[in-house]
Amino acid sequence: MRKLLVIVSLLLLVILSVSFTAVIIPAGNLRKIYSQPASAWPKPFVDDGVEWKELGILPASPAEAKRDSLREIIELGKILFFDPRLSSSGKISCASCHQPELNWTDRKERSVGHEGAITKRNAPTIQNSWFYHRLFWDGRSRNLQDQAFAPIVSESEMNSDMPDVMRKLRNISGYRELFKKAFGSEEIDPDRMTEAIAVFEKTIVSGKSRFDQFLEGDKKALSNSEIRGLHLFRTRARCINCHYGPLFSDNSFHNSGFSNNDAGYYKVTHKDEDSAKFKTPSLRDVTKTGPWMHDGGMKDLPQIISRYSIARFPGGADSLLKPSGLSAREQKDLLNFLHAISAEPLPFKKPVLPR
Ligand code: HEC
Ligand code: HEC
């Protein structure tokens, strides 16, 4: 009996000390480790061939440095972005689906456009869109100016046609003045219009997150759980294989197994291996841009994390995806880290439309 007691208490001691080293000591260590410059952080768990970049502070948009010289074009682009007269019904503007106070999304699974039509995919935020090499979930557009044509003429979005939009704008004297200020003459054409919208969009960026504050030296900005989440994101959870760099995206396309009957990037390249691939979205502000994924099909971030951690990925899914077997607590840490890289939208003043 006494022997049994000794064994039981020894066992208890072992369990206690193991859980102490697993929980309490590493938390302090991790804080120390991640308080160093990123070059001294632990090596991430990245597969061979992945040209990853370290996570980092939100970079400024390249438009920022040119803000003064582009002021008039930015102003024109902002007005066009908010003007429902670009739609055939006169009711829908770009901002109907990309709302500033909702981190430039619409918070809908899929968007509602012309006469209640439902779009095929989820409306992504336009924050930080200057960063992407290709636009749209399937990458079918190569730059923001080209992208801006699409929603104006899309039947399920603004349902206009270009000559019509041009006629309407040319009849508004306020626009003739605005185009003159921006481009030097009153001429209104599709290229000028989409260029102004694109330049404006390049000024729309995320706010500073607590992760940025932490990296800038405010070591209280992240909780222990968030630091554990950061570590998991870079290591066992393997998120950094695709969501890397200061914008948490590799600017590339993957089949992450969330697809349902959408050919995705295949429609652009017509290569079988690109079937069901979608653009890796930035994860900045991700807790505020749901529902998630190209089809808005995921309504719940914990569910996304648990699917990434324990799923048996379907055939065709990217080989970078490997079940990480995170515990419930680790999944919570990862979720908390996603909160730490999410910020409120920057204050924004809506423009007055010209007559
Ligand atoms: C009816 C809703 C709706 C309207 C109106 C709308 N959009 Fe969108 N927007 C979407 C949806 C949905 C997508 C994703 C479509 C896809 O990827 O196939 C999207 C995608 C985008 C993207 C790509 C972002 C990325 O990360 O790839 C940009 C930029 C954009 N829209 C800008 C605009 C502009 C500029 C206008 C006005 C000219 C506009 N949108 C009007 C719903 C809308
Ligand atoms: C193989 C590359 C890859 C890896 C690894 C990966 N992701 Fe993703 N992630 C993607 C792609 C691609 C999408 C868009 C998929 C879609 O829309 O169908 C995405 C979408 C998401 C979204 C939804 C974002 C939005 O705006 O809709 C979240 C959240 C997310 N990933 C979190 C994570 C987390 C957390 C991890 C680590 C556990 C991770 N991802 C690992 C490629 C990856």
pLDDT in tens, 203-223: 999 999 999 999 999 999 999
Confidence of residue 261 (pLDDT cuts 50, 70, 90): confident
The answer to whether residues 125 and 285 touch, using CB atoms and an 8 Å cutoff, is: yes
Q: How many Cβ atoms are within 10 Å of 161's Cβ, its own excluded?
A: 11
> For residue 16, is pLDDT > 50?
no
Ligand 1 atom with the smallest distance to the CA of 113 is 1
Atom 40 in ligand 1: residue holding the nearest Cα? 94
Angle subtended at Cα 159 by Cα 252 and Cα 354, rounded to the nearest 5 degrees: 100
Mean predicted lDDT score pLDDT of the chain: 93
Q: Tell me: the pLDDT tens digits for 180-194? A: 999 999 999 999 999
Retrieve residue 284's tokens. 């900045």
For residue 254, the ligand 2 atom closest to its alpha carbon is: 12
Task: Tell how far the Cα of 339 is from the centroid of ligand 1, in angstroms.
Answer: 25
Is the bond preceding 291 in cis, omega lying within 30 degrees of 0?
A: yes
pLDDT at 11 over 90: no
Q: Is residue 242 within 6 Å of ligand 2 at its C-beta?
A: yes
Report whether residue 237 contacts ligand 2, using a CB cutoff of 6 Å: yes
156 to 112, 144, 146, 297: CA distances (angstroms):
8, 20, 18, 19
Question: Best mutation site among 230, 251, 293 for ligand 2, i.e. most ligand atoms within 8 A of its Cβ?
Answer: 293
- Residue 87 near residue 156, CB atoms below 8 Å: no
Instruction: Count Cα atoms within 13 angstroms, Cβ side, for 16.
Output: 6
Ligand 2 within 6 A of 262 CB? Answer: no
